[in-house]
Amino acid sequence: MKKILRTLFITLWKSWFALVFSLTLIVLYPLFVFLLVTKQHKLVYRLKQVWAFLICLFSGLIPHIRYPYGKFSFPSPSIVVANHTSYLDILFSVFYIKKPAVFMGKAELLEIPLFNIFFKYFDIPVRRQNPKDAVRAFEKAAEWIDKGYCVIIYPEGTISPQGKLKPFKNGAFRLAIQKKIPIVPAVNLNNWHLLENGGFFKSNGFPGIAHIVVGKPIDTSCYSEKNLVDLQKEIRTFIEQQLNLYYEKNK
């Protein structure tokens, strides 16, 4: 009986979350279209922050962001590198990336009605299995960086099951070195528990507190292609340490 009630609650909450997501997007959609068509991209990002706040407010999600090295003025341009555990990762990122930012995401997002407008006119879609398209995506990211925007990239290239860290791809680190801009590591600790990937009726979904850790910006001006792996290891180590601390504390 307990399992049935749990499944029922998860299904009802995920249905409610989908409804909130859709209705708030529909309400804001005309303004999003206007801002995108008129290329007021900084205002697009501000409106995304409003949208994220509304989604969290009405669906019972609370982002709790911790800065172990203290808060800082977010560098712009910069590249934000985070582990990818849930579709909520993007939603919560606008709460700690205060400066206008674009997202790099899978090209399949272009297939979602209404939502696809962002990846048509603002954010960066990438076909993971197409090397040429990946090159194009990073060229586009470089253009946004030249305009002073932050770019958020998930170096695993996909959502990892139950927060288990997958191998990193080199693109984000190479771009940061080439552009000589800071990398900001971010760690999504439990987003996968709040909204798990893996099928509507088979995966978890709950309201609650999302725990996120944002590390200090890493200066890449002293790095080159020769020590790209060192930069990648430094960031991966930070993410792994924060994940391990969280799991040890919440056994």
Domain containing residue 111: CATH number: 3.40.50
pLDDT at 250: 82
Cβ burial 172-184 (10 Å sphere, 16+ → b, else e): bbbbbbebebbbb
What is the C-alpha separation between 18 and 201, in angstroms, rounded?
A: 13
pLDDT at 2: 78
The SS3 call for residue 14 is helix
Instruction: Quote the domain boundaries for residue 95.
Output: 62-249
What is the C-alpha separation between 197 and 213, in angstroms, rounded?
A: 21
Structure token pair of residue 194: 């709040």
Q: Mean pLDDT per 10-residue run, the chain (251 residues)?
A: 83 95 97 96 97 98 96 93 96 96 90 89 87 90 97 94 90 96 97 87 89 97 92 97 92 73
pLDDT at 108: 85
The SS3 call for residue 45 is helix
pLDDT at 163: 82
pLDDT at 249: 87
pLDDT at 22: 96
Total domains in the fold of the chain: 1
pLDDT at 162: 82
The enclosing H or E element of 103 equals strand 101-106
Contact 184, 215 (CB under 8 A): yes
What is the C-alpha separation between 78 and 99, in angstroms, rounded?
A: 10
What is the C-alpha separation between 213 and 78, in angstroms, rounded?
A: 17
- Asked if residue 37 is part of any domain, the answer here is no
The SS3 call for residue 57 is helix
- Asked if residue 47 is part of any domain, the answer here is no
- Asked if residue 23 is part of any domain, the answer here is no
What is the C-alpha separation between 168 and 65, in angstroms, rounded?
A: 23
- Asked if residue 27 is part of any domain, the answer here is no
User: pTM, whole model, 2 decimals?
Assistant: 0.92
Query: Residue 143 corresponds to which amino acid?
Result: E
